[in-house]
Structure formats: structure tokens, C-alpha cells
């Protein structure tokens, strides 16, 4: 019977020391969190709100295990081993990627392809319009050149006519003189 009492107290002491260790670890973790929140100037409520918003955004695209999500502030360790700036740590277990997210990605890719096609059509149309303008300019140039050629031919005819008239006049003068 004495052994049972001794076992009882030993077990009770072990439980007490375990709970002391647990409560010590819990207190240490809480103190660490308080210090981190203080350094980052972030309240626990703000951190919880941020955590919920992050989870809501992620849940749009993937199924997550909400019970296993761990979002907390930690200290980023510097290269020399000292604690540096606070960092947000998020461990979010993914269960499955939602089909809607995949469809959204496919739709985005499809839209990008449509935009590319539209841009190509616009570019082709611009090139076609430019070609038409070049053709119109060439036609105008040909018409102007043709008009100039006609004007030159008219001038040559006029000059020839004048020369013929001069020649006739000279011949008349010669025939009158003879």
C-alpha cells in the first residue's frame, strides 16, 4: 500500500512538472508573441484579422486544412545569429486546388490569347490601311506625272507650232523678196 501511495505522489509530481513545463513553454511562447507584436507594432486582434483575411483569399483558389493553419510573427534571424526584423510566418496545408481556380486560369489564358489576336488584327488592319494609302499616293503621283507629261507635250506642240509659223513667215518673206 505504501508503494501505491509513493507511486501516486511520484506520478502526481511528474504530471505537475509536465504541466509546469507545458505552462512554462506556453508562457514563453506568449511572451515571445507579445514581444514580436510589440516590435512589429501589431496587436493580437490585428494579427488574427490578417490571418482570417489571408485564409479567405487563399480559400478562393484552394481547399485548405483550417485546423492545421499556423500564422504567426517570428523573428528573422540575421546572418550573425542575432534576431532581426519581425517576419510573418504562414504554414497553410493545402488539401486540393479548386477546379474553379484552374478554370479561372484557363479563362485568363484564353482572354490573353484573345487580346493578342485582337492586337494582331488591329496591326494587320493598320498595315492594310497603310498599304492602301501608299497605293493611293502612287496613283496620285502617276496622275500628276501624266498631267506634267501632257503639259510638256502641249508645250512641245506649241513650240513646234510657233516654229512652223516662224518658218512659214520666213518662207513668205523669202518668196516676197524673190
pLDDT by residue (tens digit) across 57-93? 888 888 888 888 887 777 777 788 776 777 777 888 8
Asked if residue 163 belongs to a domain, the reply is no
Nearest to 99 by CA among 125, 152, 63, 148: 63
Asked if residue 145 belongs to a domain, the reply is no
Looking at the structure of the chain, the number of domains it has is 1
Q: Is the pTM of this model over 0.75?
A: no
Give the model confidence (pLDDT) of 106-147 as tens digits: 788 888 999 999 999 999 999 999 999 999 999 999 999 999
Asked if residue 153 belongs to a domain, the reply is no
Give the range of the structural domain holding residue 25, as residue numbers without chain letter.
2-97
Asked if residue 87 belongs to a domain, the reply is yes
Distance between CA atoms of 106 and 89, rounded to whole angstroms? 31
Asked if residue 19 belongs to a domain, the reply is yes
pLDDT for 124:
93
Please say whether the dihedral angle defined by the alpha carbons of residues 44, 48, 49 and 50, taken in this order, is positive or negative. Answer: positive
Residue 1 has pLDDT above 50, yes or no: no
pLDDT for 152:
92
Note whether 80 and 44 are within 8 A (CB).
no
Asked if residue 20 belongs to a domain, the reply is yes
Amino acid at each position: 500500500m505504501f508503494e501505491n501511495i509513493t507511486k501516486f505522489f511520484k506520478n502526481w509530481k511528474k504530471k505537475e512538472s509536465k504541466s509546469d513545463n507545458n505552462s512554462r513553454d506556453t508562457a514563453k511562447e506568449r511572451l515571445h508573441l507579445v514581444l514580436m507584436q510589440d516590435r512589429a507594432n501589431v496587436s493580437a486582434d490585428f494579427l488574427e484579422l490578417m490571418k482570417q483575411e489571408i485564409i479567405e483569399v487563399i480559400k478562393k483558389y484552394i481547399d485548405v486544412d483550417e485546423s492545421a493553419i499556423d500564422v504567426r510573427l517570428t523573428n528573422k534571424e540575421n546572418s550573425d545569429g542575432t534576431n532581426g526584423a519581425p517576419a510573418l510566418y504562414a504554414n497553410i496545408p493545402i488539401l486540393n486546388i479548386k477546379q474553379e481556380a484552374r478554370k479561372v486560369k484557363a479563362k485568363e489564358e484564353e482572354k490573353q490569347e484573345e487580346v493578342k489576336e485582337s492586337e494582331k488584327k488591329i496591326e494587320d488592319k493598320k498595315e492594310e490601311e497603310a498599304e492602301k494609302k501608299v497605293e493611293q499616293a502612287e496613283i496620285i503621283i502617276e496622275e500628276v506625272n501624266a498631267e506634267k507629261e501632257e503639259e510638256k507635250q502641249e508645250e512641245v506642240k506649241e513650240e513646234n507650232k510657233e516654229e512652223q509659223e516662224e518658218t512659214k513667215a520666213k518662207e513668205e518673206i523669202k518668196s516676197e523678196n524673190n
